[in-house]
Amino acid sequence: MKDLAGRIAVVTGGGSGMGRELVRQLVAEGVSIAMCDVSASGLAETERLCRQERLPQGLKITTHILDVSDRASVERFQGEIARQHETDKVHLLFNNAGIGGGSSFVVAERDEWERTFNICWGGVYLCTRAFLPMMLKADKGHIVNTSSVNGFWAVIGASMPQTAYGAAKFAVKGFSEALQVDLRLNAPHIKCSVVMPGHIGTGIAGNTGKVLAGNDGDALTPAQIKQARSRIAAAGIDSSKMSDADVEKIVRERIRRFLEEAPMTAAEAATVILDGVKAERWRILVGKDAEILDRRVRAEPERAYDVDFFKSVAEETGWKVGR
């Protein structure tokens, strides 16, 4: 599928970050889009950015508010696409939606842990289940699952547990690898790629709190402050003497740093992903830091979770300490 023009793509998490940039670049190549997100404002902005360019004749863009972890909603989403795009086929499925959170299995709240896992892994499973019949009817198809470097290295910091996210991203990677044989035998016209980005400049750090709190605005809710305190505690820091304002300041700075200090932008990452899809690469590492981590973890798997290993990786990749 080197020429994407005239195809139909489903993009989850299209309201921000890599999802938004994937949508914009796909539209520029003449691909009709069905995108979903939990954020109505995010979807509206992505659509506005696409429509400010001159769209090819006949190209359709539809937006759908959706929680990818909910089976009934995903199945309804599939039906909406069939009706609104007047088709029984889709060619491209980008399972991109995801959040962070669910840091510690030991001290974080169960609801937050399961919410993160169910979005990051459950969303990939449910959407692939829902759209596979439409892809089977197409002449060609490609499933693109966003895992992470945390899909082969389950840590984001020497003192920052990330068990829900890491477990989910490992599941996405394993599922995508298992599909290589399954599709080759049972649906050879469909390809599958697993995407493993390093640190990409997106709004995931801020969006995570919004999704977990059910908040589409910018002001932090009491629930978000509570969740932030839980994540601070999971890192072994006593937040009991911090005011809510102190906690919010920490949250805002983390969001800023994750976006502004990333070595690769979301737009650059989307280009790498689409280039990989066109080349039919099943394994797409995104960013020099991802390539370094892949090499280092393969070379020293027994040391991968030692504190000194993280520090040496941070030095080699150029990550700021406290990432």
- What confidence tens digit (pLDDT) does each residue in 236-276 have? 788 888 888 888 888 888 778 777 788 899 999 999 999 99
CATH topology of domain 8-201+264-307: Rossmann fold (3.40.50)
- Give the max Cα distance, the chain: 61
- What confidence tens digit (pLDDT) does each residue in 130-150 have? 999 999 999 999 999 999 999
Q: How far is CA 211 from CA 74, 77, 284, in A?
A: 17, 19, 27
Say if residue 108 is exposed, middle or buried (CB neighbours under 10 Å; 0-12, 13-18, 19+): buried
Give me the catalytic one of 77, 131, 152, 165.
165
CA 264 vs. chain centroid, Å, equals 15
Rounded to whole angstroms, how far apart are CA atoms 321 and 315?
9
- The total of other beta-carbon atoms located within 10 Å of residue 193's CB is 22
- What confidence tens digit (pLDDT) does each residue in 77-128 have? 999 999 999 999 999 999 999 998 888 899 888 998 999 999 999 999 999 9
pLDDT of 78: 98
CA 178 vs. chain centroid, Å, equals 20
Active site residue 165: yes
Q: For the chain, where are the E strands, in sequence order? A: 8-12, 32-37, 61-65, 92-95, 141-146, 190-197, 200-201, 264-265, 283-286
Query: Is pLDDT of 170 > 90?
Result: yes
Domain residue extents for the chain: 8-201+264-307
Structure-block tokens of residue 151: 């899909």
pLDDT of 128: 98
